[in-house]
């Protein structure tokens, strides 16, 4: 009896090919292709990150090239200070005080008819000083500087000359207020201060036109307060004056007496003159700004 065959003698069947409509599987993309695709999707973020890296690299390079800080020694500081003092001398306090009022000080001249030549015009009667107290050209001066003048002329710091008129007088303190017809651009008024803070020994500066020369600056100290002075003619007794020893002469009258802080505390009014020389002997008097406030009509403090 024949044994049944374990294997069929027919040829093995092979797997059927895929149907025509089934797509073939694509090959897996390479690593380079994946990187390019990632770069396309995140191009902006990559550019930003690259910028940060470049900035960081530049900062590190700059820090690496920066020289190491030098530790200053006290000897180096002292040497620098001494060099500055030798090469650049600072302005004195008196110079700074004078500069603070330089553009506010004016020369005041009074003119009268010439009695010898009545048809030829006028002659200068006298010269004095003044200080601008309001930027509209209001000027404070002495009454005796302008009294009796037919015409007044003021000259400003920039050389501008203008006619002026009297707008107020205060005979009790020999003060007058005048106003210029024409003024420079940006005319600065002086800074007014109180004489109540003054003490004997305080340094002051007088600015004016002694004998018409100027503006001239002299420096000294407050010699006394609340002084009295009678004019040589004996016609008027002035009270409550500041006594000072900064040089003043005829023509200085009406100019400001200035503290080292740049504040006008008085108006130079008179000098003590026991002789006929009419020159300064070391004692001058100034009306206080409190009295000047009464002359202006508005208390300054």
Active-site annotation, residues: 144, 174, 253
For residue 86, CA distances in Å to 73, 80, 83, 89, 152 come to: 20, 10, 5, 7, 47
Q: What is the CA radius of gyration of the chain?
A: 46
For residue 198, CA distances in Å to 92, 206, 271 come to: 20, 15, 20
With beta carbons less than 8 A apart as the criterion, state whether 287 and 226 touch: no
The number of helix segments (H) and strand segments (E) in the chain equals 6, 12
Distance CA(83)–CA(11), nearest Å, equals: 115
3-state secondary structure at position 120: coil
With beta carbons less than 8 A apart as the criterion, state whether 200 and 227 touch: no
Q: Of 230, 229, 269, whose CA–CA distance to 253 is shortest? A: 269
Distance CA(222)–CA(201), nearest Å, equals: 5
With beta carbons less than 8 A apart as the criterion, state whether 105 and 207 touch: yes
In this structure, the chain runs to a length of 301
Distance CA(93)–CA(219), nearest Å, equals: 10
């Amino acid at each position: 009896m024949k044994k049944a065959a374990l294997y069929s003698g027919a040829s093995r069947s092979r797997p059927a090919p895929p149907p025509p409509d089934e797509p073939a599987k694509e090959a897996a993309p390479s690593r380079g292709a994946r990187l390019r695709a990632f770069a396309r999707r995140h191009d902006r973020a990559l550019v930003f990150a690259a910028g940060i890296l470049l900035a960081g690299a530049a900062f590190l390079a700059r820090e690496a090239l920066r020289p190491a800080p030098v530790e200053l020694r006290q000897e180096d500081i002292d040497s620098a200070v001494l060099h500055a003092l030798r090469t650049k001398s600072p302005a004195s306090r008196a110079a700074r005080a004078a500069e603070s009022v330089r553009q506010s000080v004016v020369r005041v001249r009074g003119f009268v008819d010439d009695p010898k030549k009545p048809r030829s015009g006028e002659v200068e009667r006298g010269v004095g000083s003044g200080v601008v107290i309001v930027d509209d050209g209001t000027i404070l001066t002495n009454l005796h500087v302008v009294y009796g003048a037919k015409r007044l002329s003021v000259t400003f710091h920039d050389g501008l000359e203008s006619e002026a008129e009297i707008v107020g007088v205060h005979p009790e303190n020999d003060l007058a207020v005048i106003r210029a017809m024409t003024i420079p651009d940006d005319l600065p008024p002086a800074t007014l201060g109180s004489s109540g803070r003054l003490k004997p020994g305080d340094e002051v500066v007088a600015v004016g036109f002694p004998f018409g020369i100027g503006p001239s600056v002299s420096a000294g100290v407050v010699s006394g307060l609340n002084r009295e002075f009678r004019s040589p003619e004996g016609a008027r007794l002035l009270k409550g004056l500041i006594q000072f020893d900064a040089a003043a002469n005829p023509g200085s009258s009406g100019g400001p007496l200035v503290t080292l802080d740049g504040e006008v505390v008085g108006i130079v009014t008179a000098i003590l003159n026991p002789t006929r020389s009419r020159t300064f002997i070391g004692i001058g008097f100034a009306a206080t700004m409190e009295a000047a406030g009464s002359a202006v009509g508005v208390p300054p403090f």
